[in-house]
């Protein structure tokens, strides 16, 4: 048996905050538009799990389970003392690379362990060492302050700077640029493990370009887009009295449409990676 057959290449694509009921291969989504043809194609050609339940409702703890095969609360809230999948694969002879922009998946929590390349867009670094931890920590708290706990600041920042469509994460485009450049430069005769994580379907939903022109997306102004982002963050924090009651049916419909636009962008990103893998000389 060949080495490739014994140790096949592994490309692991994960999507933050993707709802099951927006993915076509799981049935009717209630929208007359094919949001996820690329994901649906993968499901048709492979295996689709009907019952797949996250071990936790948030990023840090759910990925502790996903990337270490341990229960999230079995140890402290980082990878210390847990077997990391990238380390296990590296020990088995795989070359490993990861690409993401979620602060909770950063080297600050140890998720870089075992990766030869760890492109951590939260601090601009592209390798697996710890030199960027200080700047990462600063960026991490900046992200928290701007979008998770201080929603009014995001709202006012956007209006003051007219910078309405800059999310607190790196969009799929730059993530894919880095990942595809890596894929074009690796030797697939050697076993490869590549993990790519997308944040576009995560709140705040800020579609740009052609994704603001999708047929199901109403004409939502930049100011209203940011207003909705601020409002939905306030809903998540009970200290803001009355926030939940202030969300109208129109708000919910517009937020759902903005979210679906981001799902479509993410599905296109998946298709770009699949197309790269199908290039002659790759898989």
Token pair of 205 as six digits: 């939903």
CATH (domain of 81): 3.40.720.10
Domain presence at residue 68: yes
Confidence of residue 151 (pLDDT cuts 50, 70, 90): very low
Query: Is-contact 13 198, C-beta < 8 A?
Result: yes
- 70 versus 240: the higher-pLDDT residue is 70
For residue 130, what pLDDT is reported? 37
- 36 versus 146: the higher-pLDDT residue is 36
Domain presence at residue 161: yes
For residue 153, what pLDDT is reported? 52
For residue 264, what pLDDT is reported? 96
Residue 145 has pLDDT above 70, yes or no: no
Residue 113 has pLDDT above 50, yes or no: yes
Domain presence at residue 156: yes
For residue 232, what pLDDT is reported? 74
**Over residues 247-267, mean pLDDT:** 93
**Over residues 129-140, mean pLDDT:** 42
Domain presence at residue 283: no
Query: Is-contact 104 63, C-beta < 8 A?
Result: yes
Domain count, the chain: 1
Residue 149 has pLDDT above 60, yes or no: no
Domain presence at residue 258: yes
pTM of this structure: 0.85
* Per-residue pLDDT tens digits for 201-256: 998 898 999 999 999 999 998 888 888 887 776 666 656 555 556 788 999 899 99
Helix extents (H) in the chain: 3-6, 37-45, 59-68, 85-91, 133-143, 151-161, 172-185, 222-235, 249-277
Residue-range definition of the domain harbouring residue 64: 3-277
Question: 17-44 as b/e, with b when 16 or more CB fall inside 10 Å?
Answer: bbeeebbbebeebeeeeebbebbbbbbe
For residue 283, what pLDDT is reported? 65
Strand order in the sheet with 10-15: 10-15, 192-198, 95-100, 117-120
Domain presence at residue 65: yes
**Over residues 87-110, mean pLDDT:** 93
For residue 244, what pLDDT is reported? 58
**Over residues 97-117, mean pLDDT:** 92
Token pair of 84 as six digits: 């990391």
Domain presence at residue 282: no
Residue 98 has pLDDT above 90, yes or no: yes
Domain presence at residue 15: yes
């Amino acid at each position: 048996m060949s080495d490739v057959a014994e140790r096949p290449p592994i490309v692991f694509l994960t999507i933050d905050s993707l709802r099951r009921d927006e993915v076509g291969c799981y049935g009717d989504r209630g929208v007359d538009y094919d949001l996820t043809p690329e994901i649906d194609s993968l499901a048709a050609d492979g295996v689709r799990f009907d019952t797949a339940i996250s071990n936790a409702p948030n990023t840090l703890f759910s990925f502790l389970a996903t990337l270490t095969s341990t229960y999230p609360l079995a140890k402290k809230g980082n990878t210390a003392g847990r077997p990391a999948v990238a380390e296990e694969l590296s020990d088995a002879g795989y070359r490993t690379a990861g690409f993401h922009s979620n602060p909770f998946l950063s080297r600050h929590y140890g998720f870089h362990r075992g990766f030869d390349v760890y492109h951590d867009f939260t601090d601009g670094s592209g390798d697996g060492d710890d030199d960027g931890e200080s700047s990462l920590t600063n960026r991490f708290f900046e992200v928290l302050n701007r979008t998770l706990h201080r929603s009014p600041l995001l709202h006012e920042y956007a209006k003051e700077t007219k910078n309405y469509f800059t999310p607190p994460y790196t969009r799929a485009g730059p993530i894919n640029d880095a990942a595809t450049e890596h894929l074009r430069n690796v030797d697939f005769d050697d076993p490869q493990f590549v993990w790519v994580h997308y944040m576009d379907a995560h709140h705040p939903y800020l579609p740009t370009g052609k994704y603001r022109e999708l047929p199901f997306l109403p004409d939502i102004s930049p100011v209203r887009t940011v207003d909705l982002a601020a409002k939905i963050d306030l809903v998540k924090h009970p200290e803001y009295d009355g926030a939940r009651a202030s969300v109208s049916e129109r708000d919910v419909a517009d937020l759902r449409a903005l979210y679906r636009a981001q799902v479509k962008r993410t599905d296109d990103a998946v298709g770009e990676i699949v197309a790269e893998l199908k290039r002659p000389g790759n898989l």
